[in-house]
Chain A
Amino acid sequence: MYKYSDFDEAFVRERVAQFSQQVARRIDGSLTEDEFRPLRLMNGLYLQLHAYMLRVAIPYGSLNSRQMRQLAHIADTWDKGYGHFTTRQNIQFNWPKLTDVPAILSALADVQMHAIQTSGNTIRNVTADHFAGAAADEIDDPRPIAELLRQWSTDHPEFQFLPRKFKIAITGSPHDRAVTRAHDIGLRMVRDADGAPGFEVIVGGGLGRTPLIGHVVRPFLPQADLLPYVEAVLSVYNLLGRRDNKYKARIKITLHETGAAALTQMIEDRFAELRGAYDGTDQRLLDQIRAAFGRPAFKLAPTDPHDRALANPSYRAWADTNLVAHRNPDYAIVQVSLKAPGATPGDATSAQMRALADIAETYGHDELRISHEQNVILPHVHRGDLPAVHAALKAAGLAAANIGLISDIIACPGMDYCSLATARSIPIAQAIATRFHDLDLEHEVGPMKIKISGCINACGHHHVGHIGILGLDRAGVENYQITLGGDATETAAIGEKAGPGFAYDEVVPAIERLVRAYLALRLEPGESFLTAFRRLGPAPFKAALYPEERDRDAA
């Protein structure tokens, strides 16, 4: 893993000192809230519905056991003993007091973490494939590039006051696990005709009020040109992006209003200007960063404990759903579900964080990842250690065998926490997961992505859920709109609205009708919901959602 240089260390400490003074000046009245708000947002501090919320960056979702233990310590010392992992691979603490935030930031700096640029109109935490460096299908580890982008974008003087926030995602695999097509810039590693690795550059994707799939501005960009090219995109956006209307300020709108061809040309022109200014320093820095992301020292040991454990049905169920092929055949990638049926998606208690840290340290080459699907990943576990890992996870209440199934739901905090939300998300996720668990239908239904947002800003990625749920306020009552057929992968698609929304109590029965219709309609158990939806179109699913309309039409 990357370790802070003296420069990084000094910079983060200086920011903690600055913000500590800003908090003191806010409390003694020298700063008004209007003056203080942009300062606190630059340091990840929001004021939410019931309390402050501190959003801490987990760069490209990677952390080690010491950092995870420190997050547990923060949760116990200054919060309520838990944290919430988000769809941006960050962690949020929901209950810090303003006076405690300087101490929290200082504790984060002790383990080379911070909350800088987790809010505001800046380049946010760069997200990456959570299997980076471990995936069997990977061209190259995207994390060194993500770290280069983090260093370049942190406190970049030109990009601290962008028209709006700016999100970059990167994946090193052809299979897209980082939702690159729904980011301001998506970087997907590909090879050219000679086999050299480079990037497909996607610009102008995004969810929210105006959901759009990104446009490919460069089908192949050599790796060495990455930084000047990204700078060119940002630079064009910084000039063109609208500052008059925050709903039209994201680069997806700039692209739409300027035209994809014209914007692409402007980016290329700016790139031609900038490229010469890069004298190779960035590539030398990248080489240094790469050295920090070397492969772990994989061990040679028998894998048969795993093979023997497969005779146990509960272990087998967990192995079937939660393990992924590792580039080393003796290893596996372990996905730890934070979605036990009835639990809050993405939440981990301090005890669970410590258990994960211990497991990573003992069995996982000291590496942990947070996925955008709000789960925790142990990227490198030897197959011989899997039964011990499973037992340790089970003891910590972390052995739910449901990755990729209907109860593995993404949900934003919604109106239980967020001041922007228009309805609750968490209890809807809890109710759906509990219902299908009680019905014992999860495994029969198979791969299913339900994603829930509590407002139009779409932090819960509802547009790219196979089933998306959007909570709205309709005349003072919570109302939930359902979208169908969304896809977050390399075959990205925005789901289509099914029809009128459902009341809070009607959502679970509606989802159950939808899922039962799919089970009746699929050609064979191997045909997933999304495949069946693409084959049949929305009509039979809408009929299941709105039986009264079907009955009326038949009458």
Chain B
Amino acid sequence: MSPRFTPKVVTANALLEGDVVYLTADDRWSREHHEAELIEDEAHAQLRLLDAQAQRQVVVGAYLAEARPGPNGPEPVHFREAFRTRGPSNYAHGKQERHV
């Protein structure tokens, strides 16, 4: 039996700015992880990834990243994905610039 599917979000980088983006349930690309669609079904995840990859003029390098439900929406699981929601640790650049 294959291991149980763990929840995912679809993420990519915006073509023009390179900023990290997340696919929402209503087919937008959000800059915020917590607005992403949390996908709990493997077949649905593959379809959503195909949807994302088809948007060649909007995003680059779409992939499925592990996520878990949180009080404000999906949260990243791996530290790499957590860094992608914020920006670098040496300067308050990237997304964290907007968060403060």
Contacts and interface: CB of A to CB of B under 8 A. Distances in A.
Contact of A97 (B17, B91, B93): B17
A95 interface: yes
Interface stretch (B1-9, B37-45, B75-83): B75-83
A98 B84 contact: no
Interface string B82-100: 0110011111011100000
Given A29-B57, A415-B80, A477-B79, A426 B17 contact: no
A38 interface: no
B93 A80 contact: yes
A430 interface: yes
Given A33-B56, A427-B90, A50 B15 contact: no
B19 A50 contact: yes
Contacts of A49: 20, 80, 83-84
Nearest to B60: A33
B56 A32 contact: yes
Interface string B1-32: 00000000000010111111000000000000
B57 A50 contact: no
Contacts of B73: none
B69 interface: no
Contacts of A27: 15-16, 57
A111 interface: no
B19 A51 contact: yes
B90 A51 contact: no
A257 B57 CA distance: 44
Given A33-B56, A416-B83, A50 B90 contact: no
A347 B61 CA distance: 28
Given A97-B18, A416-B83, A50 B78 contact: no
A95 B93 contact: yes
A427 B89 CA distance: 7
Interface in B43-86: 56-57, 60-61, 77-80, 83-84
Contacts of A95: 93
Contacts of A237: none
Contacts of A47: 13, 18, 60-61
Interface in A84-106: 94-95, 97-99
Contacts of A195: none
A417 interface: yes
A476 B79 contact: yes
B100 to A, nearest CB: 15
Contact of A50 (B77, B79, B94): B94
Contact of B88 (A26, A29, A33, A426): A426
Contact of B90 (A32, A426, A478): A426
A424 interface: yes
Nearest to B56: A32
B18 A50 contact: yes
Interface of B: 13, 15-20, 56-57, 60-61, 77-80, 83-84, 87-91, 93-95
15 contacts: A29-B57, A47-B61, A49-B80, A49-B83, A50-B19, A50-B84, A50-B87, A50-B93, A50-B94, A50-B95, A51-B13, A344-B90, A427-B90, A476-B77, A476-B79
